[in-house]
Structure formats: structure tokens, C-alpha cells
């Protein structure tokens, strides 16, 4: 059990900055998800916390103790790797025991912990198999088991689910969440999958280009994205970003009051309507370009008059519309996310 | 999955295409080997006029001859020493190069060069360096109080040929070890580091076991090398001497056959040598198939 503090953490590869100064305070028992596109520095950040990458400048404190100069083994952390990194020549039991043996844990204690971990993860019958005899999901469990038996101060997860198929990924995601709640171990979790990030995190850290774009709970980040990048990255389908000018023209001018610096506005696909809602509304006229039924709902791609990019809206069921139909799309003024293109930031932030 | 197959109706063409390779194998490998087996059952008179078929007499004589038994022992010592020395040194070099990220290509290239040198040249090179009269090594060893003269001291002669033979083979082993090391995923090392294993422990508990297929392969190759390919080297450095101290089987085959002109005995020795290598290789392959798998 421990807190993790990152203080102005930087990492350069030669002259190329990978992480450009990150500050983060992880509370005891919290599950923090680092999310961002590939190359955003999230994995580098995690590996610096693990001690697998050197730190260019800044500090890392685990449980209040500066560990920048400490070996990975001295940091009291356990890591789950993307490819699991199970030792292929050792049995599952051997894999689980390895870290404990290296630390001189007494035999009885090792057996107890391995048994506990095997019970929690339901891998008891697999203990004498080799990793190559296991399925992807089972390997994933063993990798988790190897982290659990150590009873470390913190878990570090490096895209642990990205090698699994879609169905298994959802199942393991739920299991990781349940496990972390049960063990209450401080965790850092790296992923590029925004859905995984939203569902797992106590708090999200959205990263881009080596910098933190926003830190907040999943709902905070979804409801009030701090930057254009976050707005476009979190949510599926992504938020529609349209020039403010094309929205404030015509009859919307009275309803829509935007700050002077706002030149781009965001609208979530599920906050756009084809039937006029109650109260004040904004209207957008356009042509249906594409209709994608995705089961219970449909994604409607609409080309709004006077804009270049089509917008996407999510509608329940299957609307009776054909491609090429002209329609009016409605939005509520309070659902608008105002941004400034130049700074990339939200203009109503306070 | 479907593969497209082209069928040539010509029945002779496949044989014609195989013929050159088959001819080379037959003329230069199978025929001489068959001749050796045949000669090993015969005795030839000193002038080559008459050969008599004498069954296993060449073999029984061989195993009651102290010189041959000595040669067997020397071969065992030589092969084991060369294999251990060259494999351990090349593993050490490979691990060192694997740790260096920059310029490891340059190191690799340089370390491979000795393999391009012909065995006889290697022999002469080391003969020159260790020459008791003009060599640099004996000069330096004298400074340490060691009197080096491999022409008189059998143990020193053995050390010299072992060093020379190992030196040449290090390059080859090195290449395979580097490739083997690079196929061990970095994340295993990292996982082990987090699991509290120091660099030395990581190597012995994670990397070395994963290298075992490479190690076993090299073991076979090195033993075969030491037993067969070192003739030129011995010939150029010690001529099997002093007093038979470095007279390994392959050199004795040559010495008895071409210098002593005892064709029958020489043929019997080469057959025995062949059988030894076949047996060793078979044992190792069986062992590999059982043990080295994951």
C-alpha cells in the first residue's frame, strides 16, 4: 500500500523528448489509467516508475520515498507486461515463486501465497503446466498471479489486455477491476484503448506528445474535456468538432452565446438529435451521407451545410432515412463544448 | 490453403538436376569412405603388390596398441578442452556485445574475422607467437617465470593447440550465441529484474536456460570440429608431438597412413573415428529432442 508521486518527470532519448514534465499524485489504493495514442510517452512514463528506464530529470516517490536511483527490485512494485513475459522454461508455479525465492521468502510463506493467488485467479489446476501449454487468457492470469504473490506496494500494467481477443478483453477487464478493488493496491495502468480506460479508471490521465492533457475521473474527462485533443480522443464515436462560425450563423445566433476566443465547438454524437428536443435548441441543416446500423443504435454521418467534415450522431434504433436525404439536426446549447483552435484549450474553463 | 504446383512431365529431368550434387557426394565422400572401410579389413605389403584380407586384425591390433589408446585419451582431452574453452569465451563475448547497444555491429564484424582464416594459417600464426626461440609469448612468459617450450613439454604443447583451435572456433560460436541472445525477449529480463534477480542471477536462471538449444547445437558442432577439422592446425604447430602429446586421432590417421604407410591401420582408425562421431552426434540429438523444448 503506497502513494506514488511523480514530480516534473522528464525523459529524453538523445535530443528527442519523450516525456516533457509530468506531475501526478496517485492516492493510496487508487487505480490510475494512463491513456493516449501510441508514442505519447505513457509507456515510457510507466517504465520510469518501474525503474526500467532512466529518468532524465524530476522525481518519483513511491510511499513518500524517492526511488529515482533505486533498482527495479528495490521499488516494491510488480509489473504485468503486454506480452506477459512469463518465463517459458518454468512451470506456472515456478513463475509465481521466482520473485519470492529471489527475495528469500520462507518456503511455507511462498506456498501459502502461491496457493492464495491461484485461488483468487482460479489457476490452481494449471500450476504444473508450462506457459506454452496455456491459452492467452490463462497466461494473462498467470502474469497477474506473478504480480499478486509479491504483495507489492503498487501494480504497474503495461497494456496487459491488448494481446487478447475482444471478448476475453472485456472479461479480463472486469476481472482486473474486481481484483484491484479487492486488494486495494495502488495501480498504474497503461492503455491506448479509451473504452478500457473509461471503464477501469478511478482517475484518467490523458497524455499526448509527452504531456498530460487532462487528469480527472472518467466522467469529468468525458463531460468536460479540457482540450481539443481529449475531446477527440475520449468517446466513441469521437466528439464532433465543427467551426463555431458555421454553428452561430442564421437562426442560432440568438440562442448561442460564445466567448470571443471560441472558434471551434464540440458536440458529442449522443447529444445530437434528429427529433426536436424541449427547450432552446440549435439547428444544423445537412445531408445524410452514410447510415451505419450497429445493432441497438445507428451511427448517422451527416454533411452539415457550410462545413467540410461530416458529423456523426448516434440515434436509437434504425431511423427511416436514406442516404442523400436532407435533414435538420438539433442540439442543446448547454451540451456545447467551446474550444480555441490556437491554444487547443477549452474556453469556458474555470 | 492451396499451393500452386507445376508438374514437369519429364521423368529424367529431376535426376539430371540432382546428378551433379549426387556425383560430388558419391565421388568425394561415399566412395572414399567405402574404400576406407574396405582397406580397414586388409593388409598391404610394403611395396603395394599384394593385399590380404585379414578380417578384424587391424582393429584388434589397434586397441592393444598403447600409442592408439594414448591418442584416444589425448583426443578426449583436446575435444573437451577446445569445446569448453571456445564456447565459454564466445558466450562471454556474445553477452558483452549484447549489452553494448552502440557499435555492436562493429564488434560483431571484428569478432567474426578469425573464422575466415584457414586452419593451417591459424596454426602457423600461433606457432610463430609461441615459438620458443623467436615468439613473443614465451618471451613474456619468461618474465612471469614460466619457461615455455612446447617442443619439449607435452602439456604446454597441448595447451598451445587447444588455444589455437579454440581461438578459431570462437567466432563461429560467437555468432550463434549473439543470435540466440537476441532472440531472448527483453521483457523477460525486465520481469526478472522486477522480480528481484540481479544481472548474474538473471543470466543463469533466465537467459542461459533459454539459450540451451543454441548451446546444444554448438556442442555438437564444436566436438565435431575438434575431432575432424583440426588436422591442419596440429600439422602446422606441433606435428602431433612432442612424444605423441598432441597426436589426436585425426592426426594419427594421417601420420600412420601417409607417413607410416600403414594403410590398413590408418583406414581402421578412420572408421573408428567416424563411428565415434556418429555415436556422439546420435546421443546428443536424442538428448536434445528430449530435453531442450519449451
Measured between alpha carbons, how far is residue B186 from residues B181, B183, B189, B206 in Å? 10, 9, 5, 11
Based on the fold, state whether residues A75 and A9 are members of the same structural domain: yes
Q: What is the pLDDT of residues B238-282, one digit of tens each?
A: 887 787 788 888 888 888 888 877 788 888 888 888 888 888 888
CATH classification of the domain holding B156? 1.10.3720.10
Q: What is the pLDDT of residues A67-82, one digit of tens each?
A: 988 888 888 999 999 9
Q: How far is A92 from chain B (nearest CA, A)?
A: 13
Beta bridge partners of A285: A328
Of B187, B198, B201, the CB nearest to A81: B187
Contact A81 B193 (CB under 8 A): no
Q: Is the dihedral of CA A85, A88, A89, A94 positive or negative?
A: positive
Based on the fold, state whether residues A8 and A30 are members of the same structural domain: yes
Of B187, B201, B210, the CB nearest to A102: B201
Domain total of chain A:
2
Query: How many whole angstroms separate alpha carbon A164 and alpha carbon B58?
Result: 67
Q: Residues B208-215: what's their mean pLDDT? A: 88
Omega within 30 of 0 (cis) for the link into B228: no
Q: Residues B90-108: what's their mean pLDDT? A: 81
Based on the fold, state whether residues A52 and A125 are members of the same structural domain: yes
Judged by DSSP in three states, B162 sits in helix
Strand ranges of the sheet holding A240-243, from the earlier edge strand across to the other edge: A240-243, A264-267, A337-339
- Which one-letter DSSP state was computed for residue A346? B
Query: How many whole angstroms separate alpha carbon A346 and alpha carbon A337?
Result: 7
CATH classification of the domain holding A93? 3.40.50.300
Contact A99 B193 (CB under 8 A): no
Put simply, whether A81 touches B (Cβ < 8 Å) is: yes
Is the pLDDT assigned to residue A108 strictly greater than 60?
Answer: yes
- Is residue B60, in this structure, part of any structural domain at all? no
Contact A73 B194 (CB under 8 A): yes
Pairing of strands A311-316, B42-44: unpaired
Q: Which domain holds residue B225?
A: 66-291
Q: What residues of B are in contact with residue A71 (Cβ under 8 Å)?
A: 193
Is the pLDDT assigned to residue A288 strictly greater than 50?
Answer: yes
Pairing of strands A154-158, A77-80: parallel
Put simply, whether A99 touches B (Cβ < 8 Å) is: yes
* DSSP class per residue in A235-291: SSSPPEEEEHHHHHSGGGGTT----TT--EEEE-GGGEESSPPSSS-EEEEEEEEEE
Q: What residues of A are in contact with residue B197 (Cβ under 8 Å)?
A: 73, 98, 102
Q: How far is A181 from chain B (nearest CA, A)?
A: 23
Average pLDDT of the residues of chain B: 84
Q: Which domain holds residue A171?
A: 4-229
CB distance A144 to A179 below 8 Å: yes
Query: How many whole angstroms separate alpha carbon A247 and alpha carbon A251?
Result: 9
Q: What's residue A25's pLDDT?
A: 93
Residue of B nearest to A146 (CA): B195
Contact A102 B210 (CB under 8 A): no
Based on the fold, state whether residues A222 and A249 are members of the same structural domain: no
- Is residue B30, in this structure, part of any structural domain at all? no
Put simply, whether A320 touches B (Cβ < 8 Å) is: no
- Is residue A344, in this structure, part of any structural domain at all? no
Q: Residues B50-77: what's their mean pLDDT? A: 84
- Is residue A19, in this structure, part of any structural domain at all? yes
User: Which residues make Cβ contacts (< 8 Å) with residue A119, sequence separation at least 6?
Assistant: none
Of A50, A83, A132, the CB nearest to B194: A50
Q: What's residue A49's pLDDT?
A: 93
Question: How many other C-beta atoms lie within 10 A of the C-beta of residue A255?
Answer: 15
- Is residue B42, in this structure, part of any structural domain at all? no
Q: What residues of B are in contact with residue A130 (Cβ under 8 Å)?
A: 294
- Is residue A346, in this structure, part of any structural domain at all? no
Place of cell 511462498: A110
CB distance A236 to A316 below 8 Å: no
Q: What residues of A are in contact with residue B201 (Cβ under 8 Å)?
A: 102
Of A78, A87, A89, the CB nearest to B194: A78
Q: Residues A302-315: what's their mean pLDDT? A: 87
Q: Is the dihedral of CA B54, B56, B62, B65 positive or negative?
A: negative
CB distance A91 to A130 below 8 Å: yes
Measured between alpha carbons, how far is residue A220 from residues A6, A198, A217, A264, B231 in Å? 22, 11, 5, 20, 79
CB distance B218 to B91 below 8 Å: no
Is the pLDDT assigned to residue B23 strictly greater than 90?
Answer: yes
Is the pLDDT assigned to residue B293 strictly greater than 60?
Answer: no
CB distance A112 to A75 below 8 Å: no
Based on the fold, state whether residues A198 and A256 are members of the same structural domain: no
CATH classification of the domain holding A295? 2.40.50.140
* DSSP class per residue in A103-137: TT--HHHHHHHHHHHHHHHT-GGGTTS-GGGS-HH
Structure confidence at residue A30 as a pLDDT band (50, 70, 90): very high
Grid coordinates of B160? 598451445
Q: Which helix (H) or strand (E) holds B124?
A: helix B119-129
Q: What's residue A245's pLDDT?
A: 81
Place of cell 543454441: B214
Structure confidence at residue A208 as a pLDDT band (50, 70, 90): very high
Grid coordinates of A50? 518501474
Q: Residues A201-226: what's their mean pLDDT? A: 93
The better pLDDT of the pair B220, B100 is held by B220
Based on the fold, state whether residues A168 and A204 are members of the same structural domain: yes
Q: Which helix (H) or strand (E) holds A142?
A: helix A136-149
Q: What's residue B294's pLDDT?
A: 47
Based on the fold, state whether residues A308 and A261 are members of the same structural domain: yes
Residue of A nearest to B191 (CA): A85
Q: Residues A112-130: what's their mean pLDDT? A: 90
Question: How many other C-beta atoms lie within 10 A of the C-beta of residue B144?
Answer: 7
Based on the fold, state whether residues A215 and A250 are members of the same structural domain: no
Domain total of chain B:
1
- Is residue A133, in this structure, part of any structural domain at all? yes
Mutation choice for A interface testing from B185, B192, B194, B292 by most A CBs within 10 A: B194
Q: What's residue A80's pLDDT?
A: 93
CB distance B86 to B114 below 8 Å: no
The better pLDDT of the pair B5, A147 is held by A147
Q: How far is A189 from chain B (nearest CA, A)?
A: 16
Q: What residues of A are in contact with residue B193 (Cβ under 8 Å)?
A: 51-52, 71-73
Q: What's residue B143's pLDDT?
A: 83
Amino acid at each position: 500500500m503506497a502513494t506514488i508521486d511523480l514530480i516534473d518527470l522528464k525523459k529524453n532519448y538523445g535530443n528527442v523528448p519523450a516525456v516533457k514534465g509530468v506531475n501526478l499524485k496517485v492516492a493510496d489504493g487508487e487505480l490510475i489509467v494512463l491513456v493516449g495514442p501510441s508514442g505519447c510517452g505513457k509507456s515510457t512514463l510507466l517504465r520510469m516508475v518501474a525503474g526500467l528506464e532512466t529518468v532524465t530529470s524530476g522525481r518519483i516517490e513511491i510511499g513518500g520515498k524517492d526511488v529515482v536511483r533505486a533498482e527495479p527490485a528495490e521499488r516494491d512494485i510488480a509489473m504485468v507486461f503486454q506480452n506477459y513475459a512469463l518465463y517459458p522454461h518454468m512451470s506456472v508455479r515456478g513463475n509465481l515463486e521466482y520473485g519470492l525465492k529471489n527475495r528469500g521468502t520462507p518456503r511455507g510463506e511462498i506456498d501459502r501465497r502461491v496457493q492464495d493467488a491461484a485461488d483468487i485467479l482460479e489457476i490452481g489446476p494449471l500450476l504444473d503446466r508450462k506457459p506454452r501449454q496455456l491459452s492467452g487468457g490463462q497466461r494473462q492470469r498467470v502474469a497477474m498471479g506473478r504480480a499478486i504473490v509479491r504483495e507489492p506496494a503498487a501494480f504497474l500494467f503495461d497494456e496487459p489486455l491488448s494481446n487478447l481477443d475482444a471478448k476475453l478483453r472485456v472479461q479480463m477487464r472486469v476481472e482486473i477491476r474486481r481484483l484491484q478493488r479487492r486488494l486495494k493496491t495502488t495501480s498504474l495502468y497503461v492503455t491506448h484503448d479509451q473504452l478500457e480506460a473509461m471503464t477501469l479508471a478511478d482517475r484518467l490521465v490523458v497524455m499526448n506528445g509527452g504531456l498530460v492533457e487532462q487528469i480527472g475521473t472518467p466522467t469529468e474527462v468525458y463531460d468536460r474535456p479540457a482540450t481539443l485533443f481529449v475531446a477527440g480522443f475520449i468517446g466513441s464515436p469521437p466528439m464532433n468538432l465543427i467551426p463555431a462560425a458555421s454553428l452561430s450563423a442564421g437562426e442560432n445566433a440568438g440562442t448561442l452565446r460564445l466567448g470571443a476566443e471560441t472558434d471551434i465547438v464540440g458536440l458529442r454524437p449522443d447529444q445530437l438529435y434528429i427529433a426536436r428536443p424541449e427547450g432552446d435548441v440549435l439547428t444544423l441543416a445537412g445531408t445524410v451521407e452514410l447510415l451505419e446500423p450497429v445493432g441497438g443504435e445507428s451511427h448517422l454521418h451527416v454533411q452539415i451545410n457550410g462545413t467540410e467534415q461530416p458529423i456523426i450522431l448516434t440515434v436509437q434504433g434504425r431511423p427511416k432515412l436514406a442516404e442523400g436525404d436532407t435533414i435538420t439536426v438539433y442540439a442543446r446549447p448547454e451540451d456545447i463544448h467551446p474550444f480555441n483552435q490556437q491554444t487547443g484549450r477549452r474556453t469556458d474553463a474555470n | 490453403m492451396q499451393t500452386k504446383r507445376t508438374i514437369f512431365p519429364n521423368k529424367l529431368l529431376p535426376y539430371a538436376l540432382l546428378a551433379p550434387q549426387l556425383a560430388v557426394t558419391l565421388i568425394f565422400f561415399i566412395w572414399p569412405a567405402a574404400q576406407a572401410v574396405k582397406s580397414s579389413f586388409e593388409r598391404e605389403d610394403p611395396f603395394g603388390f599384394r593385399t590380404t584380407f585379414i578380417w578384424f586384425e587391424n582393429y584388434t591390433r589397434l586397441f592393444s596398441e598403447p600409442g592408439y589408446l594414448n591418442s584416444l585419451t589425448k583426443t578426449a582431452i583436446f575435444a573437451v578442452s577446445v569445446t569448453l574453452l571456445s564456447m565459454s569465451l564466445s558466450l562471454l563475448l556474445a553477452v558483452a556485445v549484447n549489452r553494448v547497444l552502440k557499435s555492436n555491429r562493429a564488434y560483431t564484424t571484428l569478432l567474426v574475422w578469425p573464422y575466415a582464416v584457414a586452419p593451417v594459417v591459424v596454426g602457423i600464426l600461433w606457432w610463430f607467437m609461441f615459438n620458443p626461440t623467436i615468439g613473443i609469448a614465451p618471451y613474456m612468459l619468461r618474465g612471469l617465470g614460466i619457461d615455455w617450450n612446447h617442443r619439449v613439454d607435452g602439456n604446454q604443447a597441448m595447451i598451445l593447440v587447444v588455444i589455437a583451435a579454440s581461438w578459431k572456433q570462437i567466432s563461429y560460436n560467437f555468432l550463434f550465441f549473439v543470435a540466440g541472445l537476441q532472440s531472448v525477449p527483453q521483457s523477460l529480463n525486465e520481469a526478472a529484474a522486477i522480480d528481484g534477480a540481479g544481472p548474474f542471477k538473471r543470466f543463469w536462471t533466465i537467459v542461459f536456460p533459454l539459450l540451451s538449444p543454441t548451446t546444444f547445437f554448438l556442442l555438437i558442432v564444436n566436438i565435431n570440429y575438434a575431432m575432424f577439422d583440426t588436422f591442419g592446425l596440429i600439422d602446422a604447430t606441433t606435428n602431433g608431438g612432442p612424444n605423441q602429446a598432441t597426436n589426436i586421432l585425426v592426426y594419427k590417421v594421417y601420420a600412420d597412413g601417409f607417413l607410416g604407410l600403414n594403410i590398413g591401420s590408418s583406414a581402421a582408425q578412420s572408421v573408428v573415428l567416424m563411428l565415434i562421431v556418429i555415436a556422439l552426434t546420435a546421443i546428443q540429438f536424442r538428448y536434445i529432442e528430449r530435453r531442450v523444448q519449451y
